[in-house]
Structure 1
Amino acid sequence: MNNLIKNTLLFFLLPILTIGQIKSVTSQDGKLLLNFYIDQGIPSYSVEYNKKVLVEKSPLGLVTNHGDFSKGMTFQSAKENTIDEKYELEKIKVSSVHYQAKEIILTLMNEKKQHIDFIFRVNNNDVAFKYSLPQEDETACCVVEKEISAFNFPQNTTTFLTPQATPMIGWMRTKPSYEEEYVADEPVGTPSKYGEGYTFPALFHVANNGWALVSETGVNSSYCGSHLSDGIKDGVYSIAFPNPKENNGNGTAQPAMSLPGETPWRTITVGDNLKPIVETTVPFDLVKPLYEPSQKYKYGRSTWSWIMWQDNSINYEDQVKYIDLASTMGYEYVLIDGLWDKQIGQDRLPDLFKYAQSKGVDVFLWYNSNGYSNDAPQGAKYRMNNSIARKKEMKWLKSHGVKGLKVDFFGGDKQETIKLYEDILSDANEYGLMIIFHGCTLPRGWEKMYPNYVSSEAVLASENLIFTQHANDNEAYNASLHPFIRNAVGSMEFGPVLLNKRHNKTNDGGQTRKTGDVFQLATSVLFQSSVQMFAIAPNNLQDAPSFAIDFMKNVPTTWDETRFIEGYPGKYCLLARRHNDKWYVVGINATKEPLKLKVNLPMLAGKDASYYSDEKGNKPEMKNIKINKNGEVSLTIQPNGGVILLN
């Protein structure tokens, strides 16, 4: 029957394909197949790639207080569209995207004769779906009590997942904050650490069949953020709403929507290798900007005293030192972190702003988002969670030329918290301010939806290297995961490049770094964020290799193109990014043995290149080499080490 479909239908479909099968959609290249079924009134779908099943029959539907759209369903009609769009977006992994997909809108009716649209998009490596509810009577709103959507993986699947944290645990009751550890290659259906399921994105390896990355996009104030439930032994993971105890118990866990209304998109990126996973743009392909930018925002590099010098550095004199460091490095920004309200004082800040501006450096300023969500004590507080206070503060910031804010400590994924994110972004745009979020949820298409949005942490980031030796011992392992999972779906504000050997102000105490200098340099490219808060310190101008400082003076933060070369999550990663006409090829090794690779780099074929490497004992070296005309290069990456090639 599949051959019949391919040979006789250019676009879609037969009225009835198999028993229960209603529609089938094939990607433009013919490799990806989406099937939609209704069996005894229950809707479901499956996904194949290269004739191999990646997602087995999985349930679909919504249960609302207005009606049940998960059972007793009958097929009514189908509408087909071709999507062909181009867009430019400077702050993601590529600057120019041509999105082509097939769309099918399936209208179903439940036993109460209420209608719902199941909307699917299919392109060569992505499947996306969402639900749309019309207004059919006087009912103008509804509560979504449960989303039935699930992802059913074959038994031979292993997972790369990070657990959703229990609400109100951790430091000062700040979790969940998307800062848990990943477990690689775990058997499908393994219970999560906290019993709360798993956060998006979620990576699945179906042995001998391929890979699937599951996430969501298009989440705004009209819905909550979701995650995956614990998987059952059969390999089924369902959409789960926030725990009611998030946000200190305030706000509802179930989203409410006006009618007509739509849910966010659920996305599945698939392939027989990891290249489509790393290079996907589906989180941005499916969404539209929600407002116009008030100005053109400028991205770039920043220094940041807190990461290495910690709380006591948030004083006027130490901030001057980091402003001077930013100026010396040619960086666009300095971040003045938390506690500035007490340790510098708001009255003195304008003088500090003026000093930075006199050195050609603009300012990001830290704020605590907190109201009643958790107990995080750092100031400035109570200025971002209230619209009146927020607008007053932002007006003051604009008057002094501040360019951006880093807002920390959010309380979960409830709809009211998503609304807080959106309100901060929308208000900030009116005052010409860019926004970075920390202690926060995953961004879900926000780079495109909100023009002044920059990046989110939502990862076990560099601050943990300061806090624990365990994080340093596992730094390479964690770094080798992010391009395949967290950073594949959104900008990641990690705060990379720690060139101190010891993580303290004087480079002689605290935690010990286990990775090489070139490894650290490589993370400036490996981790994608259009504004990077680098963890270099003033002493690195003297104690780091001069070629490392020269590299950090010139590394960009925006990319025109990204190409995955090879790798395996938790073991190693080699990828290339292009800024204008300059290619940066970076690799890191998380294994315990030297990694010897022979790779083809056509972007560097026949060119002179600078070659950076951590040699034995992680001794950093830099030399100039000539790439042969066929682009073949032999590389050796030491354990906990890195390599960089750039033309």
Structure 2
Amino acid sequence: MKKLLTLLLTICLFQYISANDFIIVSPDKNLQVSVFLKEGTLNYNVNYKGKVILEDSPMGMITNVSDFSKDLVFIEKRDQVVNKTYSEPKIKKSHVEYLANEVVYTYQTPQEEKITVTFRVSNNDIAFKYALAQNGETARCIIEKELTGFKFPQQTTTFLTPQATPMTGWMRTKPSYEEEYIPDEPVGTPSKYGVGYTFPGLFHVGDNGWALISETGVSSLYCGSKLSEGTKEGLYTIAFPEEGENNGIGSAKPAISLPGETPWRTITVGDNLKPIVETTIAFDVVEPLYEPSKEYGFGRSTWSWLLWQDGSINYEDQKTFIDLSSELGYELVLIDNWWDTRIGREKIEELAQYAASKNVGICLWYNSNGFWSDAPQGPKNRMNTSVARKKEMAWLKSIGAKGIKVDFFGGDKQETMKLYEDILSDANDYGLAVIFHGCTLPRGWERMYPNFAGSEAVLASENLIFTQHANDTEAYNATLHPFIRNSVASMDFGPVLLNKRHNRNNDGGTERRTTETFQLATAILFQTPVQNFGITPNNLVEYPPFVIDFMKEVPTLWDETVFIDGYPGKYVILARRYAEQWYVAAINAEKEIKKLKVKLPMFSDTKVNIYSDRKDRSPQLEQVNIEKSGEITLEIQSGSGMILKN
């Protein structure tokens, strides 16, 4: 049966328009990609259910040895159906079945230099990449420019976050991928800093549908890319890093050996937001780069630094948070910056032993730095060179550390991508999981690197401590992430801050505007295999037992994710399943109460626990019987949330 399905797809999903023009159709025939030559230049467009998502958009590249942007001639086409299944516990869906139509087109220049373009088209996703052949004795090239573009119709609005200018911000640590999103902007609106936009980018093509643009499969063999500034006509193109990134060290242009290829560019398309939220394309087209050295464990962690800040980096406070993790049944504790000087290695070894006696594993923070920012926090110069890194990791293994958090990277150059990969690969040799902060977007890394546990790359929870503005806009930002940033990769946000005031004693500093139930909901909405929660010891006695019991039980690994309803920047309702247990989380960022009738078939004819807020915004827990239809009306206050759990 599987072979018959593959044959039928092969017959019906590849269509010729003319000798040089082709159409690729998705398995369900709703998504259509046209690839064609126009006066020797390569172009493509995208339609979904007969409506235009991308107008004619350019393709091709210019290298230092050949120009693949003009005078191209079609040579050949190869096609197949890709039908595979894989398991990956660290993403939004643990078991994935991927069915796509793959076509490889080969073109050549007047000098007979060949470039191939591989397209994979599944029901709601497009992935494509370039490959260059070796030409004579030339076995290397520099990609001077990639012409790949995404031309949207004029009615399109955007949900984008600007790329920051390099070597700016606090201690010259930008870009740190923590800029704000602007919703529903017209295409072509200039970005805040004038250097384009960070992946991923969400586009609302009016009544025609939605598109999420990103990339995946970026390793040490290429740079990370971004979207250029948009034109008034709606064209955004692939752009390489800025020259000033990484303190100006390393080329902004990627270099590849020949034969060689680029990462995948991805486009997720739908006439609603469900395919955008549920996509797994970032992982569908990549493969693991090495075998895990052990079976890695992920899970929940406490983290003193978030609310207790630098002053908590001492032996006694860290024991307190080890005890907190133990009481909550959490697997981990994170000891943040300055531990090398404020606690010292001998005392860290003692803490590791104490944590092990409580069935808690320790993770330690590191500064990635060699020379790319002025961030002073230590330990420094332990992760930036192979010799120092392996010595440090051998010590970490010897004390039983479970993982590391590495912070303050310098951009997206190939030089920096190599550092990410070197840290991950070496850490695997020593059985260490890795989280990155002050860093770029992960691009398929959950599948590519078995010990990768997540990245920040978002305006994360530490900003709630730093500015009141972040608190005032917390609900708005939280309703964006499931549609954009967290849709394509794990997101180490550091959620669930139950203190009403963001300081150690819960009596000063910035003020939380959202409710406790909202905070609990973010434990479900924000997906990453290791969650560094913002819970503090006082929370255990300040809130009803059902609040703390929820946090003791909530998982960080999910078997299934289902989008229920929402609109980016306004509200979101999302369901996740772990084993047989379903969690449905809803939050509201709008000023008015949100009353929504939704269908939750996973709760059909079932008694569920509902966490919500009273009129005074205090948390409450009720049990409700859901009808056989699965329908229920949710009423969510502004800045509040709801959770349903079977």
What band does the TM-score fall into relative to the shorter chain? over 0.9
Q: Which residue of 2 aligns with 1:45?
A: 44
Q: Which residue of 1 aligns with 2:18?
A: 16
Q: Which residue of 1 aligns with 2:524?
A: 525
Q: Secondary structure at the match of 1:298?
A: coil
Q: Which residue of 1 aligns with 2:5?
A: none
Q: Secondary structure at the match of 1:417?
A: helix
Query: What is the alpha-carbon distance in structure 1 between the residues aligned to residue 613 and residue 63 of structure 2?
Result: 57
- CA change 1:8–1:311 in 2 (3 A) is closer
1:526-580 alpha-carbon deviations (Å, 9 max, x no partner): 0000000000000000112321100000000000000000000000000100000
Q: Which residue of 2 aligns with 1:413?
A: 412
Query: What is the alpha-carbon distance in structure 1 between the residues aligned to residue 245 and residue 566 of structure 2?
Result: 37
* Residues 1:644 and 2:643 are matched in the alignment: yes
* Residues 1:599 and 2:598 are matched in the alignment: yes
Structure 2 counterpart of 1:335, which letter?
Answer: L
Count the aligned residue pairs: 639
Q: Which residue of 2 aligns with 1:336?
A: 335
Q: CA deviation at 1:37?
A: 1.1
Q: Secondary structure at the match of 2:423?
A: helix
Q: Which residue of 2 aligns with 1:534?
A: 533
Q: Which runs of 5+ in 1 are unaligned?
A: 1-5
| Cα RMSD (Å) | 1.1
Q: Which residue of 2 aligns with 1:34?
A: 33
Q: CA deviation at 1:23?
A: 0.6
* Residues 1:174 and 2:180 are matched in the alignment: no
Q: Which moved more, 1:341-350 or 1:515-524?
A: 341-350
Structure 2 counterpart of 1:35, which letter?
Answer: S
- CA change 1:331–1:164 in 2 (3 A) is same
Structure 2 counterpart of 1:12, which letter?
Answer: F
Q: CA deviation at 1:112?
A: 1.6
1:268-323 alpha-carbon deviations (Å, 9 max, x no partner): 00000000000000000010100000000001000000000000100000000000
CA contact (8 A) 2:10 2:81 kept: no
Q: Which residue of 2 aligns with 1:64?
A: 63
CA contact (8 A) 1:370 1:410 kept: yes
Q: Secondary structure at the match of 1:484?
A: coil
Q: Which residue of 2 aligns with 1:318?
A: 317
Identity of aligned residues (%): 63
CA contact (8 A) 2:9 2:27 kept: no
Q: Secondary structure at the match of 1:465?
A: helix
* Residues 1:301 and 2:269 are matched in the alignment: no
Q: CA deviation at 1:9?
A: 5.6
Query: What is the alpha-carbon distance in structure 1 between the residues aligned to residue 91 and residue 10 of structure 2?
Result: 39
1:468-527 alpha-carbon deviations (Å, 9 max, x no partner): 000000000000000000000000000000000000000010000000000000000000
Q: Which residue of 1 aligns with 2:382?
A: 383
Q: CA deviation at 1:66?
A: 1.1
After the TM superposition, which residues 212-361 of structure 1 pair with which residues of structure 2 at under 5 Å, given as runs? 212-361=211-360
Q: Secondary structure at the match of 1:397?
A: helix
CA contact (8 A) 1:515 1:618 kept: no
Structure 2 counterpart of 1:11, which letter?
Answer: L
1:4-23 alpha-carbon deviations (Å, 9 max, x no partner): xx999612112608xxx611
* Residues 1:511 and 2:510 are matched in the alignment: yes
Q: CA deviation at 1:355?
A: 0.5
Q: Which residue of 1 aligns with 2:86?
A: 87
Q: Which residue of 2 aligns with 1:476?
A: 475
Q: CA deviation at 1:618?
A: 2.0
Q: Which residue of 1 aligns with 2:147?
A: 148
Q: Secondary structure at the match of 2:107?
A: strand
Q: Secondary structure at the match of 2:16?
A: coil
Q: CA deviation at 1:616?
A: 2.5
CA contact (8 A) 1:203 1:214 kept: yes
1:394-427 alpha-carbon deviations (Å, 9 max, x no partner): 0000011001000000000000000000000000
1:356-413 alpha-carbon deviations (Å, 9 max, x no partner): 1111100111000000010000001100001000000000000110010000000000
Q: Which moved more, 1:538-547 or 1:421-430?
A: 538-547
Query: What is the alpha-carbon distance in structure 1 between the residues aligned to residue 549 and residue 30 of structure 2?
Result: 45
Structure 2 counterpart of 1:545, which letter?
Answer: P
CA contact (8 A) 2:594 2:636 kept: yes
Q: Secondary structure at the match of 1:208?
A: helix
* Residues 1:553 and 2:555 are matched in the alignment: no
- CA change 1:184–1:407 in 2 (3 A) is same
1:599-637 alpha-carbon deviations (Å, 9 max, x no partner): 000001111110001232422111111111110011001
After the TM superposition, which residues 368-517 of structure 1 pair with which residues of structure 2 at under 5 Å, given as runs? 368-517=367-516
Q: CA deviation at 1:136?
A: 2.7
1:14-54 alpha-carbon deviations (Å, 9 max, x no partner): 2608xxx6110110101000000100001010000010000
Query: What is the alpha-carbon distance in structure 1 between the residues aligned to residue 616 and residue 15 of structure 2?
Result: 60
Query: What is the alpha-carbon distance in structure 1 between the residues aligned to residue 537 and residue 204 of structure 2?
Result: 43
Q: CA deviation at 1:134?
A: 1.1
Query: What is the alpha-carbon distance in structure 1 between the residues aligned to residue 310 and residue 40 of structure 2?
Result: 59
Q: Which residue of 1 aligns with 2:578?
A: 579
CA contact (8 A) 2:9 2:81 kept: no
* Residues 1:197 and 2:196 are matched in the alignment: yes
1:176-221 alpha-carbon deviations (Å, 9 max, x no partner): 0110000000111100000010000000000010000000000000
Structure 1 counterpart of 2:271, which letter?
Answer: D
User: What is the TM-score of this pair, normalised by structure 2?
Assistant: 0.98
Q: Secondary structure at the match of 2:242?
A: coil
Q: Which residue of 2 aligns with 1:211?
A: 210
CA contact (8 A) 2:597 2:632 kept: yes
Q: Secondary structure at the match of 1:389?
A: helix
Query: What is the alpha-carbon distance in structure 2 between the residues aligned to residue 547 and residue 505 of structure 1?
Result: 23
Q: Which residue of 1 aligns with 2:3?
A: none
Query: What is the alpha-carbon distance in structure 2 between the residues aligned to residue 128 and residue 236 of structure 1?
Result: 19
Q: Secondary structure at the match of 1:616?
A: coil
Q: Secondary structure at the match of 1:442?
A: coil
Q: Which runs of 5+ in 2 are unaligned?
A: 1-7
Q: Secondary structure at the match of 1:185?
A: strand
Query: What is the alpha-carbon distance in structure 1 between the residues aligned to residue 347 and residue 35 of structure 2?
Result: 62
Structure 2 counterpart of 1:43, which letter?
Answer: L
Q: Secondary structure at the match of 1:216?
A: strand
Structure 2 counterpart of 1:159, which letter?
Answer: T
Q: CA deviation at 1:461?
A: 0.1
CA contact (8 A) 1:615 1:638 kept: no
CA contact (8 A) 2:129 2:263 kept: yes
Query: What is the alpha-carbon distance in structure 2 between the residues aligned to residue 290 and residue 113 of structure 1?
Result: 33
Q: Which residue of 1 aligns with 2:361?
A: 362
Q: Secondary structure at the match of 1:618?
A: coil
Query: What is the alpha-carbon distance in structure 1 between the residues aligned to residue 430 and residue 617 of structure 2?
Result: 46
Q: Which residue of 2 aligns with 1:3?
A: none
CA contact (8 A) 1:158 1:204 kept: yes
Q: Secondary structure at the match of 1:200?
A: strand
CA contact (8 A) 2:432 2:451 kept: yes
CA contact (8 A) 1:227 1:239 kept: yes
* Residues 1:123 and 2:122 are matched in the alignment: yes
Q: Secondary structure at the match of 1:471?
A: helix
Q: CA deviation at 1:103?
A: 0.3
Query: What is the alpha-carbon distance in structure 1 between the residues aligned to residue 367 and residue 214 of structure 2?
Result: 28
CA contact (8 A) 2:604 2:629 kept: yes
Q: Secondary structure at the match of 2:482?
A: helix
CA contact (8 A) 1:330 1:553 kept: yes
